[in-house]
Amino acid sequence: MKTSTTVIMSTVIGIGLLGTLVTLTRSLKLGVQLQAAAAPTSYTLYTEEYIGLYGGSQRLSDRITSALKTDGSTAQKHEYFDAAGKPLRSRVSIQAVGGLMIEANPDISAFTSMKIPSLDARRVGAALNPDAECIVQSNGTKQGTVVGREAVMGYDSFKVVTDDSTAAHMVEWRAPGLKCATIQRLAEFKNADGTIHDISKIVPVRVAMNDVDPALFVIPADYELLSPLDNARRRYKRQFGTDEMPSRFVDQEQQAEAAYAKFKFEPRQ
């Protein structure tokens, strides 16, 4: 199954921090008029991801906890599972005000941390505007096409389509009442001839309005601060018994490694 392999491997060797860098460079009810001011000052969104063959059964792959604090800081915790439902690993990604970016890996008691001065402005620029159907970022960049509006768990949501004719077709339900968070998602992955081979579904479990667990934003005192490449090697060794990663995985970490050399930061000082 291509999707299963892709999801697991990217989790292991580190699309984590590098993916965040790349991305950064780039209770309302149905029928009620949208008002950005009505969005919560904080929330926690709990979702689950299911993967499988197109037209076949899907299995639980990931439990995701996404939190937004009142100051704009965000944390996202992923808990991954194998085909038998056994926990594989977990990771926590944090973006805090002041340009702080952290990728923590509880399974290896380690984390990577950088403080990038320009990060706050880039994050603000990438934020989706609830008053622009949740498809226009603050910097003016358009992300997707609105094809409808539906209620998801009682939250009025814009149904947004993003299509890459050569790779994937994605539908997201973005809730303006949650500052355009993706509350639900369906991704269909394509073969070279355009046919769909695998799918990934993210479905909501619950939303806790104005309720954030402070522990999501805390790095334990016994966690070791590692560079992105050393972090990836340790995670790889935990799963495969060796830290001799294939060169393509090492190459994936080079951009984050270069940034770390310049912006390394210990947040527990």
The pLDDT assigned to 55 comes to 86
Q: Are 234 and 249 in contact (CB under 8 A)?
A: no
The pLDDT assigned to 188 comes to 94
The pLDDT assigned to 24 comes to 39
Residue with tokens 């479990």, as numbered in its chain = 205
Q: What does the angle CA 33 – CA 26 – CA 143 come to, to the nearest 5 degrees? A: 35
The model's confidence at residue 40, banded by pLDDT at 50, 70 and 90, is: low
The pLDDT assigned to 193 comes to 85
The pLDDT of 43-72, averaged and rounded, is 95
Q: 242 phi and psi, to 5 degrees?
A: -150, 150
To the nearest 10°, report the CA torsion of 208, 39, 49, 190: 180
pLDDT in tens, 69-108: 999 999 999 999 999 999 999 999 999 999 999 999 999 9
pLDDT in tens, 199-214: 999 999 999 999 999 9
| Helix 15-25 vs helix 254-263: crossing angle, to nearest 10 | 80
Considering the entire predicted model, what is its pTM? Answer: 0.83
- Find, among 196, 129, 125, 206, the residue nearest to 160 by Cα: 129
- 171 is written with which tokens? 């539908």
Average pLDDT, the chain: 86
